[in-house]
Amino acid sequence: MNELLYKNSPAHWLLSLLARLYIRLLGLTSRINIKGQKVYPGPAVYALWHRQEVLMIWLHRGQGLCGMVSKSKDGEYMARIILPLGFNFVRGSSSSGGIMALRGLIKAARDGYSIGITPDGPKGPVFKAQPGVVLIAQKAGIPIIPVACALSRKKVLRSWDKYQFPLPFGRIEAVYGEPISVAETDDIQAKTLELENRLNALTEEAERLLAAGA
């Protein structure tokens, strides 16, 4: 856990510092409305779509959530951004070290850590949940908390999921759904589809709340 793979170059240090400062600026200047239970009383898997992940970093800073960070240099930047903000991580992705990373997240969950993960990341398809989230919850015996948000001020990037980069001084609607329990006998694919449908419904709800308060 928390393995840094590259030397901390001046570029890594500076860019990660600027990113952390920006996240703090975002959190301090945005009007964030939260619906639902933000902090579950015990370990859980917090799941949200990849393009909404920046908000999770601010809302759950200092809580020790454990996520997955790729082994690439881009992943190294992310690792150095989230580690000082009180997050933990294991290294891996769908294309490199994914099985080991999944095992690492299951172990972290069994050890009492909550998990933060994007079911459609890091390469999609967009809004299509992959089974890893459900597997973690099932193997560790913890629930999934679906999360979605909507942003009034954002920069939409030209990426596979039209990644939403929040801008300061905006309004954010964050919606935490009811826990999804995963029993040992539950069908993985059925539960994955349930998670996907819940996340899409919560995203629509967040957008409605944003429009209603405009």
Q: What confidence tens digit (pLDDT) does each residue in 48-95 have? A: 999 999 988 999 999 999 999 888 877 888 899 999 999 999 988 666
The CA distance from 103 to 105, in Å, is 5
Q: Per the confidence metrics, is the pTM higher than 0.75?
A: yes
Pairing of β 88-91 and β 66-69? parallel
Low-confidence ranges of the chain (pLDDT < 50): none
In order of 8, 16, 37, 70, 128, the CA distances from 80 in angstroms are: 9, 6, 28, 12, 28
**Average pLDDT, whole number, for the chain?**
92
Give the model's pLDDT for residue 95: 60
Domain boundaries, the chain: 10-212
